[in-house]
Structure 1
Amino acid sequence: MIIIRKNLALSGLILCLLAGMLPMLKVPIKGNWNLYQTDAALFFITYMLIGVTGLLFFVRQLVAYSWMTRVLGIWYLISISAVYFKINNYFGWGFADRLLSKSLHMRWGWIVYLVGVILLLLSVKKLKQIEE
């Protein structure tokens, strides 16, 4: 039996939705970039996964919601590592990549996104059925 903690799930979904609008990268001349300005494909895939997770929560498909929270957790790890490696190996040249990696910095939007994903993962609780 799967139990969903609704307050954790809703707050996790809201934090994940807001995290895409928050600053994810600090670019020297242009300022802060959100997830869409960082990579449009990453933005659309992330919001598609968050939308499917929210839909499964609202239609009460508990098993599928449980799997999508895990998929969203794995997607967070993939997305933050993709942005990190894109920063550190953008041009393919040693000097330019070192210069770019020193000038671009991750911002606090990733932490908000991580907190949202953790809340989504904690919102699912499995209970063993007691047989009488």
Structure 2
Amino acid sequence: MENIQLIGLIMVIVGSFLPLLHIPIIGNWNYWKIDYYLASTCWILSALALFSIINSKPKLARNMAILMVLLFSFTLFAIRYESSSYFSFLPFQSWKDTFSSIVQIKWGWIVEFFGAFIIILATKK
């Protein structure tokens, strides 16, 4: 089971460098361009998960993976909130919605979440 958990951990680490967000004209952003502190937290959680996988502590690995899923969910919520509040100066709600929808979530999040879920599901009970 450790090998499967390591594959999930590699997916999380590689996923932090994949395109997670697309902003027109600016381009694709990975986790490091979205927010340095959130990316650092992701890597710290990944390092703790690696430590727990190597030392055969499945409960700690599962907890780190759950914290990663919560971190990814928080990041997605923060992206949506920030993009909608960034255009709060516009007078009409339809304009705000239109302009905030140009920020698009990309396919890298699938890799991030899938890697964390692999760690959770591969943990022995």
Instruction: Give the alignment's TM-score, normalised by structure 1.
Output: 0.81
In the aligned structure 2, how far is the partner of 1:52 from the partner of 1:97? Answer: 40
Match of 1:59 in 2: 55
In the aligned structure 1, how far is the partner of 2:59 from the partner of 2:101? Answer: 43
In the aligned structure 2, how far is the partner of 1:87 from the partner of 1:54? Answer: 33
> RMSD of the alignment, in Å?
1.8
Displacement of 1:59 in angstroms is 1.9
Which one has the bigger strand percentage?
1
In the aligned structure 1, how far is the partner of 2:84 from the partner of 2:14? Answer: 26
Long gaps (5+) in structure 1 = 127-132
Identity across matched positions, percent: 25
SS at structure 2 position matched to 1:26: strand
In the aligned structure 2, how far is the partner of 1:91 from the partner of 1:50? Answer: 34
Q: Which has the larger radius of gyration?
A: 1
SS at structure 1 position matched to 2:86: coil
Match of 2:78 in 1: 82
Name the count of aligned residue pairs: 122
Equivalent pair of 1:24/1:35 in contact (CA under 8 Å): yes
AA paired with 1:124?
Answer: T
In the aligned structure 1, how far is the partner of 2:79 from the partner of 2:64? Answer: 22
Displacement of 1:9 in angstroms is 0.3
Instruction: Give the alignment's TM-score, normalised by structure 2.
Output: 0.85
In the aligned structure 2, how far is the partner of 1:105 from the partner of 1:114? Answer: 17
Match of 1:130 in 2: none
Displacement of 1:122 in angstroms is 0.7
Farther-moved stretch of structure 1 (64-73 vs 31-40): 64-73
